[in-house]
Structure 1
Amino acid sequence: MLTEGVSLIDSRSDRVVMEPNETYWNPDRKPTVRIVYDNVIGKAEGIKSVAAGDGRVDVVFDLTPDEAHAFPASEHGKIQTKKAKTILTGVFNENRPDSPWRNPEARRALNLAIDREFVLHQGAHGYGTVIPAFIQPGRYGADPEMKPFPHDPEAAKRALEAAGIGGRELVFVASPAWKGVVAAIGQCLAKIGLGCRFVSAKEEPPEEFDVKLEWYFDWTPQYPVACVHREFFGKDATLRQGPEDPDFDALYDKLLHTPHEPQQEEVVRAVERYLQDQAKALFLYAPYTLFAVSDRVAFTPYDTCMSELAETRIKG
């Protein structure tokens, strides 16, 4: 609890308790259960508790695909999935003046080299959906005509050799949670004569790394400008991953000055098409949010990219 004049918390409670608010204004969303968030029980221990049904833990948030896949068959709990407003994609390192990834044909070729269904099922145990760009199908700004890059290893090999990338080892930076995904990408690259090396995002990445796997959020219609991910491509970006791109900047400027529907969504779709046409990223898939859930509760995660602590509903 913060008190007046306090701006920094230097300790934390071992638990956070949320009691039902009997006077909540909306009867349809009135809380009905007491929720305890335990800050002491570790994630691995919590997963074991759900599987064992010992009553200490009912829900564990944000499992990795490996953790979900390893969850034992249990009559006391299960893995629950939710299509989250996120995507997993690779950002090309274009920052070096001699970077081969400044060439859109090289970026497109690497996209053609990846068998996304294989990467999803081999590297993430099927917990996700292959999508064509940054915005998931059916959401604001998604173009229903867009399709994922096809898997064409022969065309990829020819283009990468023409770009002078054939036969080299590519360095992928990613969270340890996605090491299996990088390994599956490596199997795809091996078929066209490329090596693949994983570097943990917890380490200092080498200057010459090729691709960094990142989470991105597919935001809501109330904030559609974020759909274009200007932080990586726009002229006011703090994290711009490549050289100046006047064509993208012009599209982004048009979006800022198109306040009405349906014109605004059409501009968002134009941005999405541009990002795919220029292969500005290594497009992969939209991961699921994964939970270990005890059979003692009926758990309903919100369709959101915000804090589960604030927006989760558990029906007791």
Structure 2
Amino acid sequence: MLTEGVSLIDSRSDRVVMEPNPTYWNPARRPTVRIVYDNVIGKAEGIKSVAAGDGRVDVVFDLTPDEAKGFPASDKGRIQTKKAKTILTGVFNENRPESPWRDPEVRKALNLAIDRRAILDQGAHGYGTVIPAFIQPGRYGADPGMTPLPHDPQAAKAVLEKAGLGGRDLVFVSSPAWKGVVEAIGRNLAEIGLSARFVSDRGDLPDDFDVKLEWYFDWTPQYPVACVHREFFGKDATLRQGPEDPAFDALYDKLLHATGEDVEGVTREVERYVQDRSKALFLYSPFTLFAVSDRVAFTAYDTCMSELAETRIKG
């Protein structure tokens, strides 16, 4: 039983009912509506309910781009978007000693091979923001002078062929949700004589995969440093994705010991370094997508939480 926060839980079953908490500490954000989480109605059925306006479902969280694109034409509900603190990026498989992706010029070439705007439009129906590195434009630590790497297929082709990757079938691993993104990347690679093969990460990963698409938070206000940097490359990280990188470790150590106004400047140094070295296949930041009934005024948050504290019934 919760005694603080947004509400009180009074039921644990197929339906979780949350009543407004009149003692919530912040009067400006004190909930006013009774919230019912229905654990029986399926996602597809919930989306149809919002579109039909039948009153059973008012908000469906975490739609995929395909689900949002397929939302029925309706005057009873709509798709609502929010720029979330997440990124979709490609992790190069550098674990094998002979991996070509240990070469930053080869990693950069694959970045040059893809048209990020086309990838976003074709693979995610435009629901997202193209990113130049790990932090979204406009977020804390993002360098306003930094732009995404250009689409330069001819330069990419020359480097990749020199590295012996000409004509290669590149294996991309991702969840099924990003299959459309891989297919869009494949269309770009076909322009330079390569191809992309999708492998679901639900099975055993092949040892020779090239890139794995991963979804990460880019930063957190509680620790205003790009968390993904530590996860990818930090000296003490458990998720280091490539060989040791003393230059990055020195930068990250500088970041850890920065204080005050220096923190953002050093964070920008890190961002420029990861782009200069093409530490990942930089793609885009996905929007969080909701199906929302016109019966409610829904406030979407840019965290991963399904926060409903400020949702109101209209009228």
- Scaled to the shorter chain, the TM-score interval is over 0.9
Q: What are the superposed Cα offsets for residues 277-301 of structure 1, whole Å, 9 maximum, x if unpaired?
A: 0000000011100000011111111
TM-score w.r.t. the length of structure 1 is: 0.93
1:3-82 maps to which residues of 2 (within 5 A)?
13-82=13-82
Paired position in structure 2 for 1:315? 312
> Which residues of structure 1 form unaligned runs of 5+?
3-11
Question: Does the Cα contact within 8 Å between 1:302 and 1:313 map onto a contact in 2?
Answer: no
For residues 135 and 265 of structure 2, what CA distance do their matches in structure 1 show?
A: 13
Whichever residue aligns with residue 239 of structure 1, its letter is L
Work out whether 1:270 is the aligned partner of 2:265. no
- The DSSP-based 3-state class of the residue aligned with 1:63 is coil
- Percent of matched pairs sharing the same residue: 79
Paired position in structure 1 for 2:164? 164
Q: Aligned Cα RMSD in Å?
A: 1.4
Question: How far has the Cα of 1:222 moved from its partner?
Answer: 3.1
Question: How far has the Cα of 1:312 moved from its partner?
Answer: 5.0
For residues 201 and 36 of structure 1, what CA distance do their matches in structure 2 show?
A: 33
Whichever residue aligns with residue 297 of structure 1, its letter is V
Whichever residue aligns with residue 86 of structure 2, its letter is T
Question: Does the Cα contact within 8 Å between 1:86 and 1:217 map onto a contact in 2?
Answer: yes
Question: How far has the Cα of 1:183 moved from its partner?
Answer: 0.4
Q: What are the superposed Cα offsets for residues 89-127 of structure 1, whole Å, 9 maximum, x if unpaired?
A: 101010110100000000000000000110000110000
Q: What are the superposed Cα offsets for residues 194-218 of structure 1, whole Å, 9 maximum, x if unpaired?
A: 0110011211110110001011112
Whichever residue aligns with residue 219 of structure 1, its letter is W
Question: How far has the Cα of 1:260 moved from its partner?
Answer: 2.3
- The DSSP-based 3-state class of the residue aligned with 1:289 is strand
Question: How far has the Cα of 1:303 moved from its partner?
Answer: 2.6
Q: What are the superposed Cα offsets for residues 245-285 of structure 1, whole Å, 9 maximum, x if unpaired?
A: 00000001111111221x11111000000000000000001
Question: How far has the Cα of 1:42 moved from its partner?
Answer: 1.0
Whichever residue aligns with residue 191 of structure 2, its letter is K
Question: How far has the Cα of 1:311 moved from its partner?
Answer: 5.6
Q: What are the superposed Cα offsets for residues 133-163 of structure 1, whole Å, 9 maximum, x if unpaired?
A: 1111111100011000100000000010111
Question: How far has the Cα of 1:228 moved from its partner?
Answer: 5.0
For residues 70 and 87 of structure 2, what CA distance do their matches in structure 1 show?
A: 23
1:153-302 maps to which residues of 2 (within 5 A)?
153-261=153-261, 263-302=262-301
The verdict on how the C-alpha distance between 1:201 and 1:73 changes in structure 2, with shifts beyond 3 A counting, is same
- The DSSP-based 3-state class of the residue aligned with 1:225 is coil
For residues 22 and 166 of structure 2, what CA distance do their matches in structure 1 show?
A: 65
Question: Does the Cα contact within 8 Å between 1:228 and 1:268 map onto a contact in 2?
Answer: no
For residues 105 and 282 of structure 1, what CA distance do their matches in structure 2 show?
A: 12
Whichever residue aligns with residue 314 of structure 1, its letter is T
The verdict on how the C-alpha distance between 1:312 and 1:148 changes in structure 2, with shifts beyond 3 A counting, is farther
Q: What are the superposed Cα offsets for residues 38-97 of structure 1, whole Å, 9 maximum, x if unpaired?
A: 111111111111111111111000000000001110111110000101111101010110
Stretch deviating more after TM superposition (102-111 or 136-145): 136-145
- The DSSP-based 3-state class of the residue aligned with 1:109 is helix
Whichever residue aligns with residue 289 of structure 2, its letter is L
Corresponding residue pairs, total: 304
Paired position in structure 1 for 2:141? 141
For residues 301 and 108 of structure 2, what CA distance do their matches in structure 1 show?
A: 35
Question: Does the Cα contact within 8 Å between 1:228 and 1:272 map onto a contact in 2?
Answer: no
